[in-house]
Structure 1
């Protein structure tokens, strides 16, 4: 998916004051027996939105971990707070931004929200560490990945860096 198709498929890029809104879809079979989005689906929606975003920026994974570069990363931490339930299938969004960009790690923030970004259903953060496939040890992000991440930094986070 290209950046243009991400923009065409979802809200205007300036619909949020920082970061990006990426469209996500909740399907009927994502709902639990109580008619609410199952708790395990929230991080999945966010993961898929991040995957689409990075793919639209030219980053991809074709199954070769040795050649994956910046896509070879692991999760160190994840926090998720549920604010209110999603109770029907339909179009929503994941609001994505970068909280902290380090040499080998980054912390991204996210919200699962209404398609226009005005209502929050869940929010949290996740810490990623880029690793070298051969050693499985932390390794620095590329300049290209850093540039993409810096463009998504929350203003307060960018000022603190």
Structure 2
């Protein structure tokens, strides 16, 4: 599935698929699946930019999530194609905080929104290490305007 577009007002709009078996007993997308959709969207976005390598963990792709917030806005009650709107709020030396919306495929309806902070690690020491210039260049393409 995977065309990444910039048709969202800010950032990238990445298609994601919700399957029937992700719905709970009430027929709603289980709360734990929202984070999975966001992670899949980030993977698709960076892969489309050529990041990840043969095992998916090379270079800038070797990072961990430090914090993840989610606010649920409306229930998702059917399998099908949706989207995740992704953008960068803040890019530090070794960390990046991104905003997201889990939304309808056209971006018009928001089902959940939040933030995700990731830290790039050195694969040998597991200590924070700076993002590459290439990752910074790509991140700038989806960076939200500052609100100050």
Structure 2 length-normalised TM: 0.94
Listed as ranges, the gaps of 5+ residues in structure 2 are none
Residue 6, structure 1, aligned to residue 10, structure 2: no
Q: Distance in 2 between matches of 1:134 and 1:119?
A: 42
TM-score where L is the length of structure 1: 0.86
- Map Cα deviations across residues 26-51 of structure 1 (whole Å, 9 max, x no partner): 11111000000011110101100110
Give CA-to-partner distance per residue, 1:48-99, whole Å, 9 cap, x none: 011011000000243385xx11011111111011111100111110000001
Runs of 4 or more off by more than 3 Å in structure 1? none
The number of aligned residues is 148
Unaligned runs of 5+ in 1: none
Matched, 1:56 2:58: no
Query: Contact between 2:52 and 2:59, CA under 8 Å: does it hold in 1?
Result: no
SS at match of 1:155: coil
Q: CA RMSD in A?
A: 1.7
Structure showing the higher helix proportion among its residues: 1
Which residue number corresponds to residue 89 of structure 1?
Answer: 79
The residue aligned with 2:39 is: 47
